[in-house]
Every structure is written in C-alpha cells, then in structure tokens.
C-alpha cells in the first residue's frame, strides 16, 4: 500500500524572528507590524502619542495568534531612547530586526501651523537622532551577537530635492538618515545588515486629506500612476529584512512606483 506524504505548512519568511518597530501605532508602521506578524515574526510595537492605537494593534496581532508586546517611549529625548533600546532587546534577550519608522508628523493637526524652525527641530530629534542612537545602540549588540538587520526610512526625493518648506525640511532630515544608513552598514558589516527604504507618495493621513493639486501630482509623478499604500511599503520591508535578501546591505531602495521627473 502506498502512503501519500503528510502535508505540512511551510514556515513563513520571518518565522522565529524577533522584530521591534518604532512608530508602529499608525500609518506605515501599523501596516509593517501586521505584515511582519503575518509572516511569522514576534513583533514589538512602539508607540507614544497614539497609545490607544498601539495597544489595539498588539491586541489584533495576538488575536490572530501572533506574539506581540507594546513599548511606550518618547523618542524625542536621549534618556527614554536608551531605556527603550534596553527594553526592546530584553524582551526576548535578543533582537533580530529593528525598524526605525518613528517620525514626527508636522504636516497635519496643530503642528501644521508651527513655524519652520520648530518643525525642523522636532523632525531632527525624532527622525534623525532617534534613528541614529537606536541603530548604534542596538546595532552594536547585534554585531556582538553575530547577526541582525536594521531598516531605516528615508524619502525618495531627498537626493534630488523638492521646492518649499516641506521639501527643504524633509530633504535635510531624510537625507541625513539615508547617508547614515550607508555608513552604519559598513560599521556593522559583515554580520549585521543595514538598509533604508525611501518611500515616495504614500497615502497616509496627510495624503488622504491633501488638496486636488497634491492628489494629481502624486499620481503624475509615479510611473504606476497611483498613490502608494502603507501595504506597499510593508511588503517591501518584509522582503528586505528576510533571509531572502541576505546579500543586500548599505542600500537605499525607493518605494515610489518609479519616479517621473518633471
């Protein structure tokens, strides 16, 4: 009598890996956390201002059978950044993946009316200094352990510029993150991979409320003729941190549907 082989489910790409995602309480961060959990990772969810959303996300991941925990930390100052780095590492006594997604929202709500200097100061503290300090602190532990992946977030237009206050601010801030990524990849080689995603027009909270001019511009400047979605970024992030991308490090990868220069 011939017996058919027993069917077993293949492990998902991130099964057994421990990931912590800063700024995971909304927008792109939430999509990344959900995608990582779907692919089998244990997911640490960082939040601060949007605490209810962070807690809700953890419940959703756990409700789907995943492993998740919430971290609340103000990443705009040095002390809480270091405490968060320690807590993230100590959760599972290791960290395989660090995603630096936390970023200041200066385009919507009360912050939209802030003067340029205040917006730049807040962006620099959260988007740049937090990324650098967390990456160096956790990256050194990964290097000593012999493995790990760090993924930062840049901006696709930082390298060629965009006119206006927002363009100047985000080019300076995200350009710094992109340059830092390339250098950190060399510092932590060969065992720790460091890359950066550079999203283009992604339909987050600002995009959903943008004027007709920006709606049309976003579609016109993408070769795919549409806004990107948080899920587009999440799927790219999941691939870059997975073992399938083991030979990719020190790279800045645009996620923009192909940019159309005007």
93 lies in some domain = yes
144 lies in some domain = yes
Total domains present in the chain = 1
Quote the pTM value: 0.92
Q: What is the pLDDT of residues 81-96, one digit of tens each?
A: 999 999 999 999 999 9
230 lies in some domain = yes
Q: What is the pLDDT of residues 66-124, one digit of tens each?
A: 999 999 999 999 999 999 999 999 999 999 999 999 999 888 889 999 999 999 999 99
10 lies in some domain = no
What's the CATH number where 32 sits?
3.40.50.720
5 lies in some domain = no
Strands 97-100 and 68-72: unpaired
Q: What is the pLDDT of residues 211-240, one digit of tens each?
A: 889 888 989 989 999 999 999 999 999 999
Mapping DSSP to helix (H, G, I), strand (E, B) and coil, where does residue 46 land?
Answer: strand
202 lies in some domain = yes
2 lies in some domain = no
Is residue 5 predicted with pLDDT exceeding 50? no
Question: Domain of 227?
Answer: 18-255
Q: Which residues contact 143 (CB under 8 A, 6 or more apart)?
A: 188, 191, 192
Q: pLDDT-derived band of residue 4, with 50, 70 and 90 as boundaries?
A: very low
* Alpha helix positions (H), the chain: 27-38, 51-63, 78-90, 116-123, 130-145, 165-188, 205-209, 212-220, 230-241
Q: Report the share of the chain in percent with pLDDT over 70.
A: 96
Q: Which residues contact 43 (CB under 8 A, 6 or more apart)?
A: 19, 20, 21, 24, 33, 36, 37, 61, 66, 67, 68
């Amino acid at each position: 009598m011939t017996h058919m082989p027993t069917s077993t489910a293949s492990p998902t790409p991130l099964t057994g890996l421990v990931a912590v995602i800063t700024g995971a309480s909304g927008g792109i961060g939430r999509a990344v956390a959900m995608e990582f959990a779907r692919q089998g990772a244990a997911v640490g969810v960082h939040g601060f201002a949007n605490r209810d959303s962070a807690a809700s996300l953890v419940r959703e991941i756990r409700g789907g059978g995943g492993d998740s925990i919430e971290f609340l930390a103000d990443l705009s100052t040095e002390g809480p950044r270091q405490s968060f780095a320690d807590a993230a590492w100590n959760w599972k006594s290791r960290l395989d993946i660090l995603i630096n997604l936390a970023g200041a929202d200066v385009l919507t709500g009360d912050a939209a009316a802030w003067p340029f200097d205040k917006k730049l100061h807040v962006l620099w503290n959260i988007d740049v200094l937090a990324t650098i300090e967390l990456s160096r602190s956790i990256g050194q532990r990964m290097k000593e352990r012999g493995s790990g992946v760090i993924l930062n977030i840049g901006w696709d237009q930082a390298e060629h510029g965009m006119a206006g206050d927002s363009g100047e601010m985000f080019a300076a801030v995200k350009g710094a993150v992109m340059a830092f990524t390339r250098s950190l990849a060399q510092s932590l080689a060969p065992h720790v991979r460091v890359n950066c995603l550079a999203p283009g027009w992604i339909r987050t909270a600002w995009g959903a409320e943008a004027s007709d001019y920006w709606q049309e511009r976003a579609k016109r400047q993408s070769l795919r003729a549409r806004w990107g979605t948080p899920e587009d970024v999440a799927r790219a992030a999941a691939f870059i941190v997975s073992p399938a991308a083991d030979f990719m490090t020190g790279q800045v990868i645009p996620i923009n549907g192909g940019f159309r220069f005007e």
